[in-house]
């Protein structure tokens, strides 16, 4: 049975995306987790990841096409399997497996055509936000289309107040989530997560800044797999950020990542312009130790799902894709053991072995905290009695994942925080 890799929908109001790159061809073998394509919507540039392994047996679209979201971008099957009338998946007529040379040109109703040719929705939006015209840019995208990297290059050449003199780049264990210009925004995930979890939220943060995800040590693709404690987490992230050449940054962190963000700002190695802290750890000593242990030691997807339901107030908000992605990150006993080891160095039963309160007292940058009042992992009341310079947003009927349960609001608050600083 063939598996469909769909054109991603990275915003509820989006209907199409431009296919910027296809990294495979018919007959290629694909491993689970491989990046098979890149698309640009109005909201963001998005790398498409294979959620299963298989052989490419169908490529309905070509590079440069405007493809409807949630349509099959490709199908993966078994070696020697063909995709046709006998396949188990119905393919819409618009996505039929037609050789590229015979495919009709996309409808002009779906493509904005400028004097210089085509442009992606994201390129048009970011250019307009910065008072620039895509019809005056040279396109390096498919069939000469102006894509986000062209707008980013044009913006880099344009004087921007507060922008660094060099193009920010991703360091080890980091990945670009959105190209752009100005002060970069770095997203730091929580315990047991990985940087890819930020993509749905990034699509709702309407700013032109470059955005990066960074895996904490012991997570994802971070070079260091085991660390000795909280200070070691901060040391590793500080070193990797230093390797990027970035001199200034906005930091957005969730839970453990939020605590690391505060510690980075406190060290003063970089000019941290703002902090947006989502359900931050380290505000008080208590943590749900049963959750930490169960989550870190879960060996099956079913067990992991049961523990992850504690992260949200309404269980239905925990999507299947989120659970599958979290389980896929545990590629073997080594990955799970790394989480177990990290848990023992950071927490003792129901106690957090670190605190960010002293660092919050010393902060000089803009800081905003977003937390759910139904958080079952940390105590929302620990956010009481914070410095007056720290803005606190308390969300009703939201648990430990405000970025999942109130995505649009959290995206807006992040954008407002960054714009307020400039």
**148-159 pLDDT, tens per residue?**
778 777 765 554
Classify 102 in phi/psi space as left (phi over 0), alpha (psi -120 to 50) or beta: alpha
SS3 267: helix
Average pLDDT over residues 245-256: 95
Token reading at 64? 């440069």
Which residues lie closer than 8 Å to 303 by C-beta, 6 or more apart?
Answer: 294
Angle between helices 320-328 and 301-308 (to 10 degrees): 120
Binned at pLDDT 50, 70 and 90, residue 111 comes out as: very low
Average pLDDT over residues 33-60: 83
Which DSSP string corresponds to 279-330? S-SSSSSB--HHHHHHHHH--SHHHHHHHHGGG-SSGGGS-HHHHHHHHHT-
Task: Read off the pLDDT of each residue in 37-52 and give the average, rounded to a whole number.
Answer: 79
Tell me: pLDDT of 248 over 80: yes
Q: How does DSSP classify residue 23? A: -
**pLDDT over threshold 50, residue 106:** no
Taking the alpha carbons at both ends of the chain, their separation in whole angstroms is 51
| Average pLDDT score over residue span 278-304 | 96
Lowest mean pLDDT among 144-153, 163-172, 183-192, 365-374: 163-172
Question: What local confidence, expressed as pLDDT, does residue 131 receive?
Answer: 65
Average pLDDT, the chain: 83
- Residue-wise pLDDT for 374-388, tens only, equals 999 999 999 998 988
pLDDT digits (tens, 9 = 90+) for 187-211: 999 999 999 889 889 988 989 899 9
- pTM, entire model: 0.66
% pLDDT > 90, the chain: 46
Q: What pLDDT is recorded for position 210? A: 92
* pLDDT at residue 319 tops 90: no
Token pair of 269, please?
Answer: 């190695």
Q: What is the pLDDT of residue 20?
A: 86
Q: What is the pLDDT of residues 77-104, one digit of tens each?
A: 988 887 763 333 333 333 333 333 333 3
DSSP codes joined into one string, 355-410: --HHHHHH--SEEEEEEETT-SSS-GGGGTT--TTEEEEEETT--S-HHHHTHHHH
Mean pLDDT of 388-414: 95
The pLDDT value given to residue 102: 39
For residue 356, pLDDT beyond 50: yes
Q: What's the average model confidence in pLDDT over 166-191? A: 87
Reply yes or no on whether the pLDDT at 347 is more than 50: yes
Nearest to 394 by CA among 408, 373, 414: 373
């Amino acid at each position: 049975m063939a598996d469909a890799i769909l054109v991603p929908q990275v915003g509820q109001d989006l209907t199409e995306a431009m296919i910027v790159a296809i990294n495979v061809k018919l007959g290629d073998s694909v491993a689970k987790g491989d990046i098979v394509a890149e698309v640009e919507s109005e909201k963001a540039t998005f790398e498409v990841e294979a959620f299963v392994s298989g052989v490419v047996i169908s490529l309905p679209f070509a590079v440069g096409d405007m493809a409807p979201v949630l349509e099959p971008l490709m199908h993966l099957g078994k070696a020697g399997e063909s995709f046709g009338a006998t396949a188990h998946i119905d393919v819409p007529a618009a996505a039929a497996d037609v050789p590229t040379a015979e495919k009709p040109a996309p409808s002009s109703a779906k493509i904005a055509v400028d004097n210089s040719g085509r442009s992606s929705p994201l390129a048009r939006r970011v250019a307009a936000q910065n008072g620039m015209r895509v019809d005056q840019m040279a396109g390096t995208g498919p069939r000469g289309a102006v894509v986000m990297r062209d707008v980013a290059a044009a913006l880099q050449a344009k004087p921007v107040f507060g922008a660094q003199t060099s193009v920010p780049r991703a360091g080890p264990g980091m990945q670009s989530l959105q190209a752009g210009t100005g002060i970069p925004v770095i997203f730091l995930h929580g315990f047991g997560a990985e940087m890819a979890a930020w993509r749905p939220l990034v699509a709702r943060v309407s700013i032109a800044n470059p955005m990066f995800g960074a895996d904490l040590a012991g997570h994802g693709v971070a070079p260091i797999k085991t660390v000795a404690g909280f200070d070691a987490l901060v040391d590793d992230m500080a070193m990797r950020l230093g390797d990027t050449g970035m001199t200034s940054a906005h930091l957005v962190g969730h839970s453990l990542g939020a605590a690391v963000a505060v510690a980075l700002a406190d060290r003063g190695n970089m000019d941290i312009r703002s902090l947006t802290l989502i359900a931050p750890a380290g505000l008080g000593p208590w943590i749900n130790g049963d959750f930490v242990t169960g989550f870190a030691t879960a060996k099956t997807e079913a067990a992991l799902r049961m523990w992850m339901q504690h992260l949200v107030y309404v269980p239905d908000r925990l999507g299947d894709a989120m659970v599958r992605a979290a389980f896929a990150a545990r590629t073997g006993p080594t990955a799970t053991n790394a989480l177990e080891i990290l848990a023992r160095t950071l927490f003792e039963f129901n106690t957090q072995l670190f605190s960010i309160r002293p660092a919050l007292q010393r902060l000089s940058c803009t800081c905003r905290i977003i937390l759910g009042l139904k958080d079952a992992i940390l105590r929302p009341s620990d956010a009481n009695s914070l410095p007056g310079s720290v803005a606190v947003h308390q969300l009703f009927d939201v648990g430990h994942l405000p970025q999942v349960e109130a995505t649009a609001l959290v995206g807006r608050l992040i954008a407002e925080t960054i714009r307020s600083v400039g």
